[in-house]
């Protein structure tokens, strides 16, 4: 993606060449999408610009859509390993660790990619920035069960997600389409009737092969973290765990706990389904009880 | 332990030889404990018999106590590997997997055992049937910090736990001392306002090196399991996890859940501190909330 | 109702005269119901006997059903005030205080009874032992909105409830139909991680015109009351309040509370819809939090 | 209190006459307090000005303090009924309804005032704007049990509360002392996993003689009320009830509830102890469960 973002204003008044130079890479190997959008200027918002580009794809004949999809690299494929894919794709796939798979994992992806390509004639496409690795893997099966029309529609929806994220990074301007989610927490100590302050919180992504810590914070005087645990980017669909270091918190406050406390370090497990959603996951805790719910 | 349990009645009227033959092994390499107890017959309850045996130990001079303790095998030690310890000890240590340690774990135990022996002059003794492996490991450090008198007292308390369990297995009769804990659960579905029926529940022991499933059940119409998850033996002090297969339960009942539910399979983490205690760990659950507390 | 209950055995072998003498009053001014049931002897269970009697009513022509319903007194009517109704009806209506209405309340009932009679041609019939007074009052409006067939069916359902209760009091035997509900509570103190013991609990029936205490108990060591708050009879449909004297409980246990505690005496409001249902209403409480749910 | 508030700047540079004219009434019949404060100008904050005035009171001899206290009207006394007290006192006492007592209530206050005056030699003084009527009544007994020194101190603390509130209304400027509390709520619907939107909420002050509605609001899309239920003034110490119209909310959303729902309109009872505190009282609710805790 470009070091400096273009502004929507500039794009609205730029020459066709400049416009296509700025946006031609957003849709993989398909500068014709930017060409088509150029003819529909001006755009009042960045969201409108994105819609115009997607409209160009959706209005094109099925063959052109499929050809466009075929221009995409395999997910976690040889090309990614060999560095032969578009720079944006490289960074997106790397974010999920798809360039660092074990051989067994690589084989799994190869097998699923092969089955998918054989079934639909284009590679499996998913906006990896909106998914955990486990969620990506879990999505092959239901998508393989789709009929061709439904799956073509679904693949283009993923294209919309991918390019919306790329556009927001490439262009400044009013009316940015929503691409970011929000995950926050809050500790309520119902033993003292106060916010739980100074509690270390760890956030883990939970997968079949284990869990990986992806954020860490300490609660402030209000029992919240100064920053949301995740914000400014999509939440990856998948399973998560919050670990609250409540044992040391209660001991520090002088609460007499058993050597092995009933609730020691509180753990909450939850799932995220909406990458652009707002998830608030509070912990209501005493040394003998925990509760959580989807808050707001 | 003997195939058939002696009865307290029989022991109360048996000859000294028979009495000592029946009970002489309970205290490791110390038939003198049974000898001393013989002189205090009759016993109204099995608990009284145990107290009399422990009294004999506690009333003996420090040197004899230490000699007695020195007669015990190292925990997870060479003797256990080589099969050179008392049969009861063999089975107790095996229950915790102490005879199947990796080399690294074996080294850790060796190091801690060595430090303990150097500090106190007798081997580290703990009633392993009342502890998870992690709890055993965690107990070295605080015990190494004890002064000699406190630690001698502590070691003899562990002897009392060990021999109480052995006695209950060896002798039938009235007034058995309490050696069993109780762990149960209960699922309340606050989406439907009903007990959560037909939900698979798995219980895991949680340790530093992972978790091991130790019980499994399905909730009945009342939301409980037909049998407690653990009963009839001590609860091992340590950390546990309950996993409730609530996602499939809610889907089966026709509740519309997201692809990745917020609360999918509910997870509760808790600790057990009292091996002979009664722990009830209910789950109050909807697709969007969970709560637990120490119940009764 | 009779001082001594007949047994089902005796009724199965009794003469027609004795049978009808024993059961002829259960259906108000309608000994023909008992007559019809006599011909279907023997009955294996008391429930079967009741079904046979109801079957006789339901199988009779509409005119006879309506005539039967017309034989019932007005609810809270002049006859009840004047003592001119069947003894069972007297005691049933008195249980709800329908014989002690204020003049305004009496007028309300008169007005609703009049509207109902004008609409359907028979008096408003409800099994008052399964309702609070407010629930009875609230039921006129939806029933007045029924069409004639639906309301005749509904009135006969109420007859079934009334006579089932009368039959269970009149006849001993196997297979009693279910006529009793169950209301219980349980206090879990999540500040101490223990059952809340020694807490006074008051149960109130809540109506538009205020609340009336109908039960009182003190929690035992397990946090429960020795007896359910209501059992052995139907639960009256309606709204209830449980008041737990938790402030004095926490102060007695040495918990430092503010002069005006956040949670002082905990209050739970709930409704009962199923008179023969099982309602368990637990309180999970700290000085700073309360929770309840329909338990089991 | 003055129609237009003086500014701290103006007071810092005003003549002694103007200064005392502006502030002389804050301390009942005691312009000498303002005189003393004049000599300690300038004040950087309004809070400092208040502290200086209180310092003048606290530094004066016991006789002068008592004389000052004796200049205050009886609470709910004859003077209030007859209109013979300072304008600020009139409005403060009226806020609590102390000018509209029944004869029995008036007698109770008279009796308690008499006992207090006899015991301490000055009238019972309390900052009525920080108390419910029940809290005021409940405070006589513990204060009558104080020794003289403790109660003199306590009475002067109440003077500080009274005059702090008056000063904040009389003077604009930086560093206002905290005189306002905050009471808010939030509805979390754990049946749908969303904020409870469009739910009517009523707040009642609960007293021995019943409850009075003091605020009402409807939750917004976030499940909160647009404004806090109480803010910008002290919270009255006492007992409260929140009534949430959740039955109509759940029915409107198409949830199948029993005719008499288990949780119909949810009710939370709680107490407020800190008039300048921040109280957040969330409701976590399904048709079968409720929970609350002191939030933040």
The string of pLDDT tens digits covering residues B208-247 is: 878 899 999 999 999 999 999 999 999 999 999 999 999 9
Closest chain C CA to residue A194: C288
Q: Is the CB of residue A262 less than 8 Å away from at least one CB of chain C? A: yes
Tell me the residues of chain A between 212 and 231 that have a Cβ less than 8 Å away from chain D.
222-223
Angle at D206 between CA D200 and CA D212, to 5 degrees: 60
Cβ B293–C188 below 8 Å, yes or no?
A: yes
Q: Write out chain D residues lying below 8 Å of A284, CB-based.
A: 291, 293
Three-class SS of residue A176? coil
Q: How far is A136 from chain B (nearest CA, A)?
A: 12
Cβ–Cβ under 8 Å, residues C218 and C260: no
Q: Is the CB of residue A291 less than 8 Å away from at least one CB of chain D? A: yes
The pTM for the full model equals: 0.93
Residue A231 has pLDDT above 70, yes or no: yes
Task: Please confirm, yes or no, whether D161 is among the known catalytic residues.
Answer: no
Closest chain D CA to residue C284: D291
Q: Is the CB of residue B183 less than 8 Å away from at least one CB of chain A? A: no
Compare A216 and D77 and report the one with higher pLDDT.
A216
pLDDT digits (tens, 9 = 90+) for C150-166: 999 999 999 999 999 99
Range with the poorest average pLDDT among A52-66, B101-115, C131-145: B101-115
Complex-level ipTM = 0.91
The minimal CB distance from A193 to the residues C190, C192, C262 is found for C262
Q: Of how many residues is chain A composed?
A: 296
pLDDT digits (tens, 9 = 90+) for C229-269: 999 999 999 999 999 999 999 999 999 999 999 999 999 99
Question: Chains meeting D at 3+ CB pairs closer than 8 A?
Answer: A, B, C
The minimal CB distance from B264 to the residues A239, A265, A279 is found for A239
Interface test mutation site (partner D, options B187, B188, B189, B191, max chain D beta carbons within 10 A):
B191
pLDDT (mean) for D181-185:
98
CA D57 – CA D153 distance, rounded (Å): 11
CA B9 – CA B24 distance, rounded (Å): 17
CA A218 – CA B289 distance, rounded (Å): 24
- Report the catalytic residues of C: 72
Mean pLDDT of chain B: 93
Q: How far is D265 from chain C (nearest CA, A)?
A: 9
Cβ D190–B190 below 8 Å, yes or no?
A: yes
Cβ–Cβ under 8 Å, residues C109 and C121: no
Q: Would you state the pLDDT for residue B102?
A: 83
- For C119-141, b/e burial (b = at least 16 CB within 10 A) is ebebbbbbbbbbbbbbbbbbbbe
Neighbours of D21 (CB within 10 A): 15
pLDDT digits (tens, 9 = 90+) for C74-97: 887 766 666 667 777 777 777 777
Q: Would you state the pLDDT for residue D97?
A: 76
Mean pLDDT of chain C: 93
Considering D50, D72, D161, D186, which one is annotated as catalytic? D72
Q: Write out chain D residues lying below 8 Å of B282, CB-based.
A: none
pLDDT digits (tens, 9 = 90+) for B110-149: 999 999 999 999 999 999 999 999 999 999 999 999 999 9
Q: How far is A201 from chain D (nearest CA, A)?
A: 18
Q: Is the CB of residue B271 less than 8 Å away from at least one CB of chain A? A: yes
Cβ A190–C288 below 8 Å, yes or no?
A: yes
The minimal CB distance from D271 to the residues C135, C262, C269 is found for C262
Q: How far is B246 from chain A (nearest CA, A)?
A: 12
Q: Would you state the pLDDT for residue A97?
A: 76
Q: Is the CB of residue C293 less than 8 Å away from at least one CB of chain A? A: no
CA D288 – CA A284 distance, rounded (Å): 19
* DSSP single-letter state for residue D244: E
Residue D133 has pLDDT above 60, yes or no: yes
Q: Would you state the pLDDT for residue D82?
A: 62
Q: Write out chain A residues lying below 8 Å of C262, CB-based.
A: 193
- For B235-269, b/e burial (b = at least 16 CB within 10 A) is bbbbbbbbbbbbbebbeeeebebeebbbbbbbbbb
Q: Is the CB of residue B262 less than 8 Å away from at least one CB of chain D? A: yes
Range with the poorest average pLDDT among A234-243, B75-84, D53-62, D86-95: B75-84
Q: Write out chain A residues lying below 8 Å of B238, CB-based.
A: 260
pLDDT (mean) for C166-195:
97
Cβ–Cβ under 8 Å, residues C7 and C171: yes
Considering A50, A72, A161, A186, which one is annotated as catalytic? A72
Q: Would you state the pLDDT for residue D96?
A: 76
The minimal CB distance from C264 to the residues D261, D271, D274 is found for D271
The torsion defined by the Cα of A240, A245, A250 and A251, in degrees rounded to 10, comes to 150
Mean pLDDT of chain D: 93
Per-residue DSSP letters for D103-147?
A: HHHHHHHHHHHHHHHHHHSS-----GGGB-HHHHHHHHHHHHTS-
The minimal CB distance from D237 to the residues C260, C266, C284 is found for C260
CA D6 – CA D3 distance, rounded (Å): 10
Closest chain C CA to residue A191: C191
Q: Would you state the pLDDT for residue C210?
A: 83
Q: Write out chain B residues lying below 8 Å of D284, CB-based.
A: 289
Q: How far is B284 from chain D (nearest CA, A)?
A: 9
pLDDT digits (tens, 9 = 90+) for B251-261: 999 999 999 99
CA D190 – CA D257 distance, rounded (Å): 15
Residue D58 has pLDDT above 70, yes or no: yes
Cβ–Cβ under 8 Å, residues A253 and B261: no
Interface test mutation site (partner D, options C143, C247, C269, C289, max chain D beta carbons within 10 A):
C269
Q: Minimal CA–CA distance to C36: which of C58, C5, C4?
A: C58
Phi-psi region of C156 (alpha: psi -120 to 50; beta: other; left: phi over 0): alpha
pLDDT (mean) for A251-273:
97
- Helix, strand, coil percentages (3-state) for chain D, rounded to 5, are 40, 20, 35
Closest chain D CA to residue C275: D260
Which residue stretches of D145-195 are H helix? 148-170
Q: Would you state the pLDDT for residue D81?
A: 64
The minimal CB distance from D294 to the residues C262, C267, C292 is found for C262
Q: Would you state the pLDDT for residue A2?
A: 44
Cβ B193–D262 below 8 Å, yes or no?
A: yes
Three-class SS of residue C130? helix
Q: Would you state the pLDDT for residue A76?
A: 75
Cβ D260–C269 below 8 Å, yes or no?
A: no
CA C14 – CA A275 distance, rounded (Å): 76
Q: How far is C80 from chain D (nearest CA, A)?
A: 28
Beta-bridge partners for D272:
D238
Q: Would you state the pLDDT for residue C146?
A: 97
Q: Would you state the pLDDT for residue D197?
A: 98
CA D231 – CA B223 distance, rounded (Å): 45
Cβ B295–C194 below 8 Å, yes or no?
A: no
Beta-bridge partners for C290:
C285, D292
Distances (CA, A) of B88 to B8, B26, B35, B269: 21, 8, 20, 32
Q: Would you state the pLDDT for residue C214?
A: 95
CA B108 – CA B77 distance, rounded (Å): 11
Q: Write out chain A residues lying below 8 Å of C288, CB-based.
A: 190-193
pLDDT digits (tens, 9 = 90+) for A172-222: 999 999 999 999 999 999 999 999 999 999 999 998 878 899 999 999 999
Q: Would you state the pLDDT for residue C1?
A: 42
Q: Would you state the pLDDT for residue C2?
A: 44
Question: Chains meeting A at 3+ CB pairs closer than 8 A?
Answer: B, C, D
Cβ–Cβ under 8 Å, residues D188 and D224: no
Q: Write out chain A residues lying below 8 Å of D182, CB-based.
A: none
Cα torsion angle, D206, D207, D210, D214, sign: negative
Considering B29, B50, B72, B192, which one is annotated as catalytic? B72
pLDDT over 70 percentage in chain A:
96
Cβ C290–D288 below 8 Å, yes or no?
A: no
Residue A1 has pLDDT above 50, yes or no: no
């Amino acid at each position: 993606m470009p070091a400096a973002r273009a502004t929507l204003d500039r794009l609205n008044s730029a020459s066709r060449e400049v416009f296509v130079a700025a946006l031609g890479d957003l849709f993989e190997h398909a500068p014709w999408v930017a060409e088509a959008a150029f003819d529909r200027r001006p755009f009042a918002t960045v969201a409108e610009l994105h819609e115009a580009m997607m409209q160009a794809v959706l209005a094109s004949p099925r063959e052109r859509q499929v050809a466009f999809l075929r221009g995409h690299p395999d997910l976690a494929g040889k090309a990614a390993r060999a560095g032969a894919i578009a720079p944006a794709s490289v960074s997106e796939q790397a974010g999920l660790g798809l360039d660092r798979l074990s051989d067994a994992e690589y084989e799994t992806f190869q097998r699923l990619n092969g089955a998918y390509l054989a079934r639909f004639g284009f590679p499996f496409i998913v906006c990896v920035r909106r998914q955990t690795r486990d969620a990506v893997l879990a999505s092959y099966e239901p998508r393989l069960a789709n009929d061709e029309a439904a799956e073509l529609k679904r693949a283009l929806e993923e294209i919309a997600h991918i390019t919306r994220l790329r556009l927001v990074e490439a262009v400044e301007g009013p009316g940015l389409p929503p691409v970011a989610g929000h995950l926050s927490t809050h500790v309520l100590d119902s033993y003292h009737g106060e916010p739980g302050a100074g509690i270390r919180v760890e956030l883990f992504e939970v997968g079949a092969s284990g869990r990986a810590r992806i954020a860490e914070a300490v609660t402030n005087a209000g029992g919240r973290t100064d920053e949301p645990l995740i914000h400014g980017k999509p939440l990856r669909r998948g399973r998560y765990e919050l670990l609250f270091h409540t044992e040391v918190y209660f001991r520090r406050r002088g609460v007499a706990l058993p050597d092995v406390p009933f609730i020691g370090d509180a753990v909450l497990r939850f799932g995220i389904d909406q990458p652009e959603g707002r998830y608030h996951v509070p912990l209501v805790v005493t040394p003998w009880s925990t509760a959580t719910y989807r808050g707001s």
